[in-house]
Structures are given as structure tokens and as C-alpha cells.
Amino acid sequence: MITSNIIAGCMNLGKWGVGMSTQEYLSHIKCCLDNEITTFDHADIYGHYTTEAEFGDALKYDKSIRPKIQLITKCGICLVTPNRPLHRIKYYNTSKTHILASVDQSLDNLSTDYLDLLLIHRPDPLMDPEEIAEAFHILKQSGKVLHFGVSNFSVSQVSLLKENFNIEVNQFEASILNTKSFYDGTTDYCIKTGIKAQAWSPLAAGKLQVAEDDERSRRILAMSSILGEKYNASFDQILLSWLMKHPANIIPVLGTTKIERLKAAKDAIKINLTREEWHMLLRAAIGHDVP
Ligand SMILES: NC(=O)c1ccc[n+]([C@@H]2O[C@H](COP(=O)([O-])OP(=O)(O)OC[C@H]3O[C@@H](n4cnc5c(N)ncnc54)[C@H](OP(=O)(O)O)[C@@H]3O)[C@@H](O)[C@H]2O)c1
């Protein structure tokens, strides 16, 4: 599964964020492409099931875009919303019927014949690995989905599915504020099996700026500003380079809606922090030396 080095997250582009018009989607997509960001991360539920279709309107408007991009989407979460009047509670559905129906809906929304990557959005306690594999086989054979993965799965959950189907990606939360995956085996398992690691909220969903008066955020901001001076880089670039230094080759799924932040992200790839600098940021995050 080939993606760009930075993936553009689409969660905040529509009704859950800035509410882009079709023309704004088009200029956002074009700006990504100009900056070598060719992969776009969706989920059926974004914008209460509306963002995929808004993005799809942009693809319909300019048909030259689809062959230049890779589309990721997810399924498996059922939200309570007027757009899904039959849902009485929020729940997970990883049944074969649901996966197949969800993909058909996403293809229609995104105005495309195929998805580059489909992820099961969250581990479902009721999931049956053989049933999921059966759905994936059908989707692969029909050409509707090229690659398959999971999101927020533990090592045992991924390995269970992997016994039945070639799982190529795990997308999980990782940032300077959330390093759980470095210690619970998630990134180790990616390295061991060649599963591609994708990190959502790589800039901690903007929480560091919001919590500038919080002690931990202040320490991280101060250390990134010292390193930023050395590398002539912004705070965002330093934190992205920190994540990308990890040997699991983590690909950030960036959630920004701002063109200047997308442009800056591309250059973060060029920064190569030393091991000592990497640990200086870790130390700022945990508040003490490593043991
Ligand atoms: N698989 C999953 O379960 C899952 C869960 C959540 C998200 N995701 C995916 O991951 C993507 C990214 O998630 P995220 O949005 O939480 O990621 P993020 O890139 O960590 O955060 C983006 C948010 O932080 C703000 N931000 C970034 N840098 C900033 C700065 N220097 N100053 C102030 N604000 C700043 C952005 O605002 P601006 O727009 O103003 O830049 C935006 O609201 C989503 O779009 C979605 O595709 C997946």
C-alpha cells in the first residue's frame, strides 16, 4: 500500500470542522497535491455521514483529481444521527453485511469506483475474524477495495485478523502527548510484520496550543522552540519530525484545515533529530529522565 509521506485527514473539513464549500475542498485538495500529499483519510461517519459526499462532489467537479490521489475510508462505527434514523445507540458493526453496504455507500459518496484502503475503524467485541475476511475477499475480488487495514486495534486483535487476511495498515493515535503505542507492542508488531503504521492526531489535535498554560505543554513548547531554532523549523514541523523518526516509519494523518500548515508539514520530513534531541522532547513530555 503506497501512500504519501503525510496523509491529509478529512475529519475537520466538513460539518465537524470548518464546513468547506466544494470550491474550498477543491483548493484544499490541490494544495495537498502541490505539496506532495496525495493520500486522503476519511471515515463513513465524518460530519455525521456527510463529509465523504462533500469531498466526492469536488472529485465529480474535477475528474482529473481521482487518478492522482489515494482514498482511505473506514467503517464499523454506527452513530446516532438524523442521517441514520434507524440507529438507536452508538455501536460497532463489523458484520459482513454492514462492511459490504458501508463500502458501497462510501464509493457512491466519494464518487469513485474503488477505495485504495479500507480500515475497520474500531475493534468490535463481537467481531468475527473469518466473517471480516470473507467481506474483505469479496471487496478485493470485485476491485472495490485495493488494500485493507484496521484502526485502533491492539496487537492481539490485529494478529487475529491477520491469520485470516493480509492486514496491511494499523492506524492508531500517536503524538508527543500519546506514546502508548511505543510501549504496548503496537509499533513493535508493525516493524515485525511490515504492517504500515499511521498516526492520527499527530499534533495532539492542537491541544498543546490550547493548553499553553499547562506545565507539560509549556515544557514541550519550550523544547520544540529550542530545536526549532536549530533546524529553522516551526513547532509543528519539529513534532512531526519527532514522530517520523520512530523506526516503525509512522505516517502522520494530519488534521489541519490550513494551507500553510500543510505546506510546512512537507518539509518536516527533511528534519532528522539526533537521538539526544528526540529524547529531550520525550523528557519534556514525561517530565523526567528515562529510567
Ligand atoms: N482512526 C481514528 O480513529 C481517527 C480518530 C481521529 C482522527 N482520525 C484522522 O486523523 C486526522 C487528524 O486528526 P486530528 O485532527 O486530531 O489531528 P492533528 O493534526 O493532531 O490536529 C489537527 C487539529 O489541530 C489544530 N492545530 C494543528 N496545529 C496547530 C497549531 N500550530 N496551532 C493551533 N492549532 C493547531 C488544527 O487546527 P487547524 O485546522 O486550524 O490547523 C486541527 O484542529 C483526522 O482528520 C482523521 O482523518 C482518525
Q: Kindly give, in sequence order, each residue whose CB lies less than 8 Å from that of residue 66, ignoring residues fewer than 6 positions away.
A: 59, 111, 112
pLDDT higher than threshold 90 for residue 210: no
Q: Quick check: is 33 in a domain?
A: yes
| Number of the ligand 1 atom closest to the C-alpha atom of 172 | 1
Q: Quick check: is 181 in a domain?
A: no
Q: What is the pLDDT of residues 229-278, one digit of tens each?
A: 999 999 999 999 999 999 999 999 999 999 899 989 989 999 999 999 99
Q: What is the pLDDT of residues 112-162, one digit of tens each?
A: 999 999 999 999 999 999 999 999 999 999 999 999 999 999 999 999 999
- Strands (E) in the chain, as ranges, are 7-9, 39-41, 70-75, 77-78, 91-92, 115-120, 145-151, 169-173, 196-200, 251-254
Phi, psi values for residue 278, rounded to 5°: -60, -45
Q: Rounded distance, CA 31 to CA 129, Å? A: 39
CATH code of the domain in which 125 resides: 3.20.20.100
Stretch 92-115: mean pLDDT: 98
What pLDDT was estimated at residue 212? 66
In the chain, the number of structural domains is 1
Q: Quick check: is 226 in a domain?
A: no
pTM: 0.97
Which residue matches cell numbers 453485511? 97
Range of the domain at 13: 7-167
pLDDT higher than threshold 80 for residue 213: no
Q: Which of 203, 240, 260 to mutate to test the pocket of ligand 1 (most atoms within 8 A of CB)?
A: 203
Atom 41 in ligand 1: residue holding the nearest Cα: 256
Q: Rounded distance, CA 35 to CA 265, Å? A: 9
DSSP-derived secondary structure letter, 5: S
Q: Quick check: is 163 in a domain?
A: yes
Q: Quick check: is 136 in a domain?
A: yes
Q: Rounded distance, CA 83 to CA 50, Å? A: 9
Q: What is the pLDDT of residues 168-181, one digit of tens each?
A: 999 999 999 999 99
Q: Quick check: is 104 in a domain?
A: yes
